[in-house]
Amino acid sequence: MLVRGNFDMKVTIPTKQLLEGVAHAAAVAANKSPKPILECVAIRADATTGVSLEATDLDVGMRFHIQDARVDEPGGIVVPAARLLSICREVDEGDTTLIDADGGLTVDTGRSHFYVRGEPLDEFPRLPLFSGGRSLTVPAPLIQNMIRRTAFATAKEAGRFALHGVQLRVTGKDVEMVATDGRRLARAVGSLDKKPEMDIHAIIGPRGLNLLERILASDVTEVDVAIEDRQALFRAGPALIISRLIDGTFPSLDGVIPAKSDHAFTSTAGDFASGLRRASLLTTRDAMSVELRIEPSSLVIRSRAREVGEAKVEVPVDYDGAPQTVGFNPHYLQDALKVMEPGSVVTFEFTNAKSPGKLSDCDEYTYVVMPIALE
């Protein structure tokens, strides 16, 4: 064993649980930071509370509790998250023993032994606890689905800070999530079984929400949500996720979502997505648009770029109005169709070539996308 002298911490953890926790921590830890401690995962072992893994980049933080750990000696250490993840991925033994000794962490699996240099635990930023004072509980499937259907539409380019997050509103029993980058908007709504004691109105960054969505893929049934000290806290099963709120004013939805239009066609999400994907094969960065020619019982999708060629794809649709032609960025439409079931029936509403289109597969979801002028 690579332990030299006395040790301050010794814990034995089921390897599968360790890998899960370290993988979540590595997703939070900064890849490159002027503060190397932010690239690390903190391991804390307590005889009463057990073992927890922590990571933060100061915008998003996470504490992951290992449920079946055995604590032989309490203590703690900080080690590089990416390095520890690489080790855990190569371990196939059922249990892994972690030992803090000589300023580093020994990872012992019985057949393999690793020693990773570490940092003192007291240098790692302190993460808040979930007080549970002013919080509400949301069904895990509801919030997971709402995140998946909205977070992708947040702004990626520098600009208005509010557009870089998802607006979460809980008013009475009504829950709403909205994201927009100014060119498209995704809105998902839901309802709670009972009215919570508090309302919420906050703008939350997509990284913390996407991490929550991944954690909810496991057997978690409920999520406790609290807003404290300019942070959103989500307690989900073994994990606590902390996301710093985004300052700014989120755009009003008044007049942004088009009213119901007389012009609309229906198709399956899979057929529509397949047609867009094929047509977009012959688009370029400078010619990122497709023409939608809506005719009775048929949608013809065309793309044309002088330097690469052109494409024409037909998709069966249900439409009985006069022929119409509109243009859109195919990737913006594909992004929404990806979060829908391929066999679900989707409705695409439009007015004219200068008006936004509206895509939906149910009453609880609306996706609005701005048109593109065709040459």
**pLDDT of amino acid 72:** 94
Which residues lie closer than 8 Å to 358 by C-beta, 6 or more apart?
Answer: 257, 258, 261, 348, 349, 350, 366, 367, 368
Residue type for position 246: I
Query: Rounded to whole angstroms, how far apart are CA atoms 26 and 14?
Result: 18
> Strand 200-204 to strand 50-56: parallel, antiparallel, or no bridges (unpaired)?
unpaired
Contact 328, 302 (CB under 8 A): no
Instruction: Give 294's DSSP letter.
Output: E
Domains of the chain plus CATH, in order, are 7-123 (3.10.150.10), 135-244 (3.10.150.10), 263-369 (3.10.150.10)
**Model pTM score:** 0.91
Query: Rounded to whole angstroms, how far apart are CA atoms 108 and 115?
Result: 9
Query: Rounded to whole angstroms, how far apart are CA atoms 310 and 304?
Result: 4
**pLDDT tens digits in sequence order for the chain, 375 residues long:** 444 445 689 999 999 999 999 999 999 998 888 899 999 999 999 999 999 999 999 999 999 999 899 999 999 999 999 999 999 999 988 999 999 988 899 999 988 999 999 988 999 999 999 876 678 999 999 999 999 999 999 998 877 789 999 999 999 999 999 999 999 999 999 999 989 888 899 999 999 999 999 999 878 899 999 998 899 999 999 999 999 999 989 989 988 999 999 899 999 999 999 999 999 999 888 888 999 999 998 999 999 888 889 999 999 999 999 999 999 999 999 999 999 999 999 999 999 999 999 999 999 999 999 999 876
Contact 358, 367 (CB under 8 A): yes
DSSP string, 326-370: EEE-HHHHHHHHHTS-TTSEEEEEE-STTS-EEEEEETTEEEEE-
